[in-house]
Structures are given as structure tokens and as C-alpha cells.
Amino acid sequence: MGRARGAGAAADRHCRAARRVRAAAVTVRLAGYAALFDVADAAGDTIRKGAFTRTLADRREPLPLFWQHRPEQQIGTVELAEEDDKGLRVIARIDNPSSRAVSELLGKRVNGLSFGYRARGYRRTLDGRVLEDIDLFEVSLVTQPLQPGARVHFVA
């Protein structure tokens, strides 16, 4: 009887280890909008459709996906970034499924998206800036995006 328990315990440990290996091999993907067109953000900036066209066309490397805009915490890579009628749509992958980022995302405690940029072309208005040409450097998973509608809409 002791043997059966020992064998069962060893098999159970082996199964748990195999599940951890499989989980580590899986990536988590997310989709959403990092920016919305013609919607002022909390800083008063409004992005026009076409503002990302040049930077996306010029980009040769995938954009990094950061945690809370922290370059030392790259959590993944943006696999797709494109403008549509609504804004800057992104699909990204998080490389470590056991990371805090995935836990927070799946727990619905974090679902904001944001981006790091430099404004190349803009005009000032009484309400703030209208951004017409942007250098895009990164996309981040954030707790509080400047644009309330810049959110993750799908996780797989």
C-alpha cells in the first residue's frame, strides 16, 4: 500500500511539473486600442487619423510591450499595430503566462493600453494639442490610460 501511495505521489508530482512546462510554453495574446482618434485624452491631446501612418510604415522592428511604460519591464511584443477608423488597434503577446501582468489582466484589475511617443507634427488649440504625426516607441499595458477608452478588448 505504501508503494502505491509513493508511486501515486510521484506520478502526481510528474503531472504537476508537466502542466507547469506546458503553461510556460503558452503565450498570452491581447487585442485592443492603444489610442482612439478624435477623442481628447486627460492631458488635452487629440490624435487625428493618419497620425501613426508614417511611423508604422517606417518601423522595421516589432514594438515592445511594456508594463506601465517601464522599459526595464518589457513583458512582450506588439505583433500588429495598425490604424483603423477607430484608432490604433494592436495585437500583442505577453511572453510569460505566469507573470504579474497576465495575472492582473486575467483578474480584470488592469486592462488599459497606452503608448510612448514623440509628437512630430501637431497644432495647438484652446483645448490642447491636435497630434497629426507621431513617432511611436512602445505600447504599454497600464492601470490608468490617459484615454479612458484605450483598453484591452480581448485576451486569449
* Per-residue model confidence as pLDDT tens digits over 118-133: 999 999 999 999 999 9
Lowest mean pLDDT segment, chosen from 7-16, 81-90, 113-122, 133-142: 7-16
Task: Report domain extents, the chain.
Answer: 27-155
Grouping H, G, I as helix, E, B as strand and the rest as coil, residue 80 is: strand
Q: What is the DSSP letter of 104?
A: H
Residue 109 burial (CB < 10 Å; 0-12/13-18/19+)? exposed
- At 10 the pLDDT is 54
Is the pTM of the predicted complex or chain greater than 0.75?
yes
Query: Span 62-66, mean pLDDT?
Result: 98
The answer to whether domain 27-155 has CATH 1.10.3210.10 is no
